[in-house]
Structure 1
Amino acid sequence: MSAFPDWERFSMPSLLVMSLKPSVKFHALYDGGKFCGIAYFVESDTTVYLTYLAVNKDLRGQGYGTKILTLLEDRYPDKQLVIDIEPVVPTAKNYKQRVSRLKFYERNGFHRTDQKLKDQDGEFEALTTGKKLDKPGFVKALKQMSFGFYQFKIEK
């Protein structure tokens, strides 16, 4: 709950309903018996859209986020991984957190695109592990995740 602000979170009932679709995965991640975090993602033909990656706040900085991303890259070697982050703008109240988040993803093979995901909650910058963002694959993943009910735009 502390990894994402309220306004960026889908409700738990919504997440659970969406995870009934075979293409949507909701995993609690453990190291032995120790809860490490969650990964919530949707898979389309060419894309794995990582909607949520959250590491247990007591374990952050210990390499678990990198391990989770590596697991996804190993499991889906022929697909682009896509995430979205808050835009890194100096006027943001949490600017340092945004910079830190961007650096984390860049260290883990993601790069910035010129595409923005816009929805009712705001604007987010799309990052991908692909050579360039496969926009149709990303759009398909978003639609699959939400049964087509999620209202969004992908634009420059």
Structure 2
Amino acid sequence: MNLRLSLSDPTTADFEKVYALYQQAFPVDELYPKELLFSHFNEASNEFWSIYDDQKWVGLVYCMTEKDLTYVGFLAIAPELRGEGYGSATLALVKEKYANNRVCLLIEEVSDKYADYEARKKRFSFYQKNGFQSAGFKIAEYDVHYDFLVATGQSLTSAEYLSLINHYCGPEYAKVVNSHVVD
């Protein structure tokens, strides 16, 4: 495996498949509005990466950075390539690329009150195996509850994350996303 990240935006040849995977891999109620997502392509602090294994396109990762905090907003591997180690390798690559930053992400809340509890436990285990731990708080966005994870050995406060996401969303979309701490 020889992974690399390549910036992607609506002008790059691979963007159609990147955006299609983004729409397919995540529930509709977790996707950012297209206008919000597309408004950040020219900002160095928001990077939509295509993931390649040599010349083979394998997926996407979208990162948002504020100061020394990098939030992995979206990570998806092409369905036919899942289970081959690309997700783990991509997380290692992201942590290496943003080595001077605290790297964090959200996963759907792990609780037995959800019908897909076993899948959520498996997802949490995947991230633990790849060097992430609970940050000690939960976040809700679009009324979806998430567990907040940070790279092992790192920490952050909910206020730092809320600053990052509200800055990213701007006043108009911050009301729509409605990111807030939950119990």
Q: Normalised by the size of structure 1, how large is the TM-score?
A: 0.89
User: Partners of 1:48 and 1:16 in 2: how far apart?
Assistant: 19
- Once the 2 structures are TM-superposed, how far is the Cα of residue 155 of structure 1 from its aligned partner? 4.6
Matched, 1:89 2:116: no
Higher relative helix content: 2
Query: Which residue in the other structure is 1:39 paired with?
Result: 61
- Once the 2 structures are TM-superposed, how far is the Cα of residue 78 of structure 1 from its aligned partner? 2.2
- Once the 2 structures are TM-superposed, how far is the Cα of residue 72 of structure 1 from its aligned partner? 1.2
Q: Give the 5 Å matches for 1:108-123.
A: 108-123=130-145
The answer for unaligned runs of 5 or more in structure 2 is 1-22
Q: Normalised by the size of structure 2, how large is the TM-score?
A: 0.77
Determine helix, strand or coil for the equivalent of 1:20.
coil
Q: When the two structures are aligned, how many residues end up with a matched partner?
A: 156
Query: Which residue in the other structure is 1:23 paired with?
Result: 45
Query: Which residue in the other structure is 1:71 paired with?
Result: 93
Amino acid at match of 1:111: Q
Q: Which deviations, in whole Å up to 9, do the C-alpha atoms of 1:23-75 show, x marking residues without a partner?
A: 11011111123221110110111210000000111111111111111111111
The answer for unaligned runs of 5 or more in structure 1 is none
Determine helix, strand or coil for the equivalent of 1:18.
coil
Amino acid at match of 1:56: A
Two-structure CA RMSD over aligned residues (Å): 1.8
Q: Which has the higher contact order (CA 8 A, sep 6+)?
A: 1
Matched, 1:144 2:171: no
Q: Percent identity?
A: 26
- Which structure has the larger Rg over C-alpha atoms? 2
Query: Which residue in the other structure is 1:135 paired with?
Result: 158
User: Partners of 1:75 and 1:131 in 2: how far apart?
Assistant: 16
Query: Which residue in the other structure is 1:153 paired with?
Result: 180
User: Partners of 2:34 and 2:74 in 1: how far apart?
Assistant: 12
